Amino acid sequence: MNKIYVVGIGPGAYEQMTVKAVRAIEMSQVIVGYTVYTDLLKKEFPDKDYRNTPMRQEVERCRMAYEEAAAGKKVAMVCSGDAGIYGMAGLMYEVGTEYPQVELEIIPGVTAALGGAAVLGAPLGHDCCMISLSDLLTPWEQIEKRIVAAALADFVICLYNPSSKKRSDYLQKACHLMLSYKGEDTVCGIVKNIAREGESMEILSLQELKDAKADMFSTVFIGNCKTRVIDGKMITPRGYQYERE
């Protein structure tokens, strides 16, 4: 049976791919994905047949992968970060009902929350949630509801897609909401271009985050009430009893 690998390639650097993801790409002839991600792979895997569709043509991208696989090619559909978290795995299963002769294998990867957390220190040391601020596919009211719930229950919050040209004030709106339920000194962090050229990180308060600049290559972290800064890193304690000797 023909098989498509749906591969989370991690945040960007080759070395943050899993061994399994590397092997899946190596075994594939055709690599399908959004241009930004396939460009990251071309350096390490130059001899593949890369196929792209623009943003917002996700269904077409999936069909392209299935058509290649149905024609006998070995295919990988690549996603940045993980294959499932805001990735293509779900839509691939939906479109897959049209191609019963093709099987899927999902290969998980380091999503931006994990990659970014490692740059900041250890912000995700306790219960956390991931929320995308993009309202392309989700009504803003639903996003607001989740932000409020997460703030009230003191989750560590990781925001995906915090901002874009068309949504330049969305992070600000989210911070306004959170400031009603969380202290303005809550420790926050922004990581840009995780594991890519130009990687940078900044630790700041929730009050400061409200006026900070983020873009579509940023991942934003809002701590819980116990998150603090240790040696310039953002740390959310798990709760172990620790006293300095």
Could you give the CA distance from residue 148 to residue 168 in angstroms, rounded to a whole number? 20
Query: How are strands ordered across the β-sheet holding 2-8?
Result: 49-52, 30-33, 75-79, 2-8, 102-107
Out of 43, 46, 72, 240, the residue judged to bind a second copy by CB under 8 A: 240
Check binding of 75 to a second copy (CB under 8 A): no
Nearer to a second copy, 13 or 36 (CB): 13
Q: Which of 36, 148, 177, 204 binds a second copy (CB under 8 A)?
A: 148
Near a second copy in 110-139, by CB under 8 A: 110-111, 114-115, 117-119, 121-132, 137-138
List the interface residues with a second copy, window 48-67 (CB under 8 A). 58-59
Contacting residue, 12, 108, 162, 189, with a second copy by CB under 8 A: 108
Residue with tokens 């998150």: 227
Residues 199-218 that bind a second copy (CB under 8 A): none
Nearer to a second copy, 20 or 49 (CB): 20
77 to 106, contacts with a second copy by CB under 8 A? Answer: 82-87, 89-98, 106
- Positive or negative: CA dihedral 112, 114, 115, 117: positive
Nearer to a second copy, 99 or 209 (CB): 99
Q: Count Cα neighbours of 151 within 13 Å in the Cβ-side half-sphere.
A: 22
Please answer whether residues 131 and 150 qualify as being in contact, where contact means their C-beta atoms are separated by less than 8 angstroms.
yes
Asked if 180 is part of the footprint of a second copy (rule: CB under 8 A), the reply reads no
Closest listed residue to residue 226, CA positions, set 244, 243, 238:
238
Residues 6 or more apart in contact with residue 232 via CB below 8 angstroms: 203
